[in-house]
Amino acid sequence: MSDEFDPSSASRQEIMAAFLASELQDGEILQIGAAMPVAEVAVRLAQFSHGPNMELIFIGARMNAAHLDTLPTPEFGWDHRVVRWAESYADTGHRFDRVKDWHRRVFFIGGVQVDPHGNTNLIGVGEDHRRLRFRGPGSVGTATLSTLVGRYYILLNSHSARTFVPRCDFVSAFGWGDGDPDARRKLGLPGGGPKYCVTPLCVMDFTDDTKRMRLKHLHPGVTVDEVRANTGFEVVVPDDVSSTPLPTAEQLRIIRERADVRGALRR
């Protein structure tokens, strides 16, 4: 393998994508929403590298893409460059005709705010909902998906104290509420909730007893202090924080030659 795919050349976002891909098991059904570049690459990498039986759903376009050399990123819901490979397309509204088996799906969720218990906010920032300081895009389908899917990953394009807040001004997707490990069951939410939060600095999981964000992996070159300084609440830091595994040369080759041909994660 040439130096071109030297693991040390991986960008932060490529590291995030490879980490997420390693989380995804063959045979799983992966649901990807809009504007999630790292997730777009992660699911392609997973399918191309170890997931020949995965099903990928981009907005409504459902497919197995294992046989493709590459697959572009859709820029809107019915993007022919992606939909041309779909085996089915679930239209807006019709997507919710059958949600009873969504425990089989894995999802990725973003947020303009995220709290220590993995509750996320896409509604906006401010005290008064009628006069928000920042109007966000809205809940999209995340309130329902986060309720039902088997597990999901909180995935952020930046890691700052503006995003990681002690308490979200509004919650559009319920993670672990106030941190009660039983919170989801008590509310009657069938889905498994957020598993990890993945950012350009680190990977965080949730403590067992209080479902509080806990540092799991630091990306290479990132320090605990850097994470602390950029997180607006106290992150649990265990003794055994390890480094996020680097992509292998083979993973990097698949990312750069097939999953992310345009280099969206290297900019």
Q: Tell me whether residue 38 or residue 215 sits nearer to another protein (CB atom).
A: 38
Q: With binding defined as CB under 8 A, does residue 129 bind another protein?
A: yes
Strands 124-125 and 134-135: antiparallel
Binding of residue 131 to another protein (CB under 8 A): yes
Interaction of residue 185 with another protein, rule CB under 8 A: no
- In the bound state with another protein, the residue whose beta carbon lies nearer, of 44 and 184, is 184
* φ/ψ (deg, to 5) at 163: -85, -45
- Rounded to the nearest 10 degrees, what angle do helices 37-49 and 12-23 cross at? 50
- Size of interface with another protein, in residues (CB under 8 A): 52
127 near another protein, rule: CB under 8 A? no
CB of 50 to another protein, least distance (A): 30
CA distances from 81 to 71, 76, 93 (A): 8, 10, 23
Contacts to another protein from residues 220-259, by CB under 8 A: none
Cα 55 from Cα 40, distance rounded (Å): 13
176 phi and psi angles, rounded to 5 deg: -120, 25
Rounded Cα–Cα distance for residues 250 and 6 (Å):
9
Residue choice 54, 114, 148, 246 for contact with another protein (CB under 8 A): 148
Give the interface with another protein as residue ranges (CB under 8 A). Answer: 34-35, 75-80, 84, 89, 91-96, 99, 121, 123-124, 129-148, 170-174, 177, 183-184, 187-190
